[in-house]
Structure 1
Amino acid sequence: MFDVIPAGCKRAVDVGCGNGELTRELHRRGVPEIMGLDRDEPCIQRCRMHPEAGDIRYVVGDLSNAGLTPKGFELVSAVASLHHMDAREGLLRLRSLVAPGGVLIVIGPARPDLPKDLPIEVAAQIAGLFRSRPTRSAGEPAAPIIWPPPERYSTMRRLAGELLPGVHWRRHLMWRYSLVWVNGMDPDAHDI
């Protein structure tokens, strides 16, 4: 994910920042102005109190009420947050925040299209038996979770291709997909 951060990135927003892991990593990587946005107030309070919070700005809110500047960010990320909102509206709002030449990164869960996806789902379950689980700091609660995700892989792929010209969409194991979109990429360069 970090290899797609635009060179010289000055402003980033993480929509649905949860407990702030991504915002702190962006800060460590030298992005000078970072905003973490989440509608869960306990998450934002934990972010603000974290020893590495520094000058990261954490805001309680969502895409519809946070007063975010259109085309104001070189990096817009939404990790496990798009499924908390209407997918089409969320992608449109996220897209509107990306500055020319900036990057939108979305990593999210989706449901399989069965029976077509059955072989992939079986492989994912087997891989899951051997996968190490991410660990949280002692006593750190998890961010809120919505399960199952409301959209299917096919729906997310179609919406991404329709709304984000030139998007790079990829399916991952364990009910995840990622998309990377560069604002201003040649619309004929679809990678979907």
Structure 2
Amino acid sequence: MDQERTRWNHNTHYHRLVIATIPDGAGRALDVGCGEGMLVRELRRHVPEVVGIDLDQVSIDQAEVQNNDDAGSEFVLGDFLTHPFEPASFDFVTSVATLHHVDADIGLSRIRDLLRPGGVMCVVGLARAQLRDFPLELASVLAHRYFLLSRKYWQHPSPTVWPPPETYASMRRIAAELLPGARFQRHLLWRYSLTWTKPSC
């Protein structure tokens, strides 16, 4: 775990944002696209039961090795879109740098359906920039160089997809249509966040 505290990249930078959105009293959480399980292990400090799911066999194998026989963590090799999770069975669902691997409408709808009433989703994602995004793109370049003055970039082992199929503008629109009241924010380091609480009734 101490070694993990030194791991830094554009995704781990926003793990704290994810942790901060866990709803009070959450008993079960899901990390979509968990990779080798770093965020699952962080979530376990706050949630009694955490499931991580990923399509990549190598990543799941690494997650299992690093699990340290934690009975509160489960790692699933599979597609979160089709895996037979019970509907409305999670209090918290997160996805970091994974949503652009699937159709955004389908992915967000699936996460929405997996949430219990009152549950919270927190997506940290990537999207394509347009001309209007240039100022924040430039700021991200400068921020990246700044952080590298004190950190060594950790290259995660999971598969990547580039370029993202959706723009920031289209992701904002999709979120507004599927998740009324969702909060969409642009961030440095080429990321956005999307947070939403499922209505209780």
**Which TM-score bucket, shorter chain as reference?**
0.7 to 0.9
2:197 is equivalent to residue 182 of structure 1: yes
2:58 is equivalent to residue 42 of structure 1: yes
Q: Comparing 120-129 with 86-95, which one deviates more in the overlay?
A: 120-129
2:136 is equivalent to residue 120 of structure 1: yes
Unmatched runs of 5 consecutive residues or more in structure 1: 187-192
| Helix, strand or coil at the partner of 1:117 | helix
State the alpha-carbon separation in 2 of the partners of residues 166 and 134 from structure 1. 37
TM-score, structure 2 as length reference: 0.84
State the alpha-carbon separation in 2 of the partners of residues 134 and 147 from structure 1. 23
1:160/1:141 CA distance change after superposition, 3 Å: closer
User: Which structure carries more relative contact order (alpha carbon 8 Å, separation 6+)?
Assistant: 2
| Helix, strand or coil at the partner of 1:37 | strand
Q: Considering only aligned residues, what root-mean-square deviation do their CA atoms show, in Å?
A: 1.8
State the alpha-carbon separation in 2 of the partners of residues 154 and 141 from structure 1. 27
Note if contact 1:165-1:185 (Cα within 8 Å) is conserved in structure 2: no
1:179/1:135 CA distance change after superposition, 3 Å: same
- Give the superposition deviation at 1:64: 2.6
Fraction of identical pairs, as percent: 45
State the alpha-carbon separation in 2 of the partners of residues 94 and 134 from structure 1. 33
Greater helix content = 2
Note if contact 1:68-1:97 (Cα within 8 Å) is conserved in structure 2: yes
- Equivalent residue number for residue 99 of structure 1: 116
1:93/1:76 CA distance change after superposition, 3 Å: same
Unmatched runs of 5 consecutive residues or more in structure 2: 1-16
1:171/1:52 CA distance change after superposition, 3 Å: farther
Note if contact 2:125-2:191 (Cα within 8 Å) is conserved in structure 1: yes
Find runs of 4+ consecutive structure 1 residues off by over 6 angstroms.
none
State the alpha-carbon separation in 1 of the partners of residues 57 and 88 from structure 2. 26
TM-score, structure 1 as length reference: 0.88
Q: What is the total number of aligned residue pairs between the two structures?
A: 181
- Equivalent residue number for residue 190 of structure 1: none
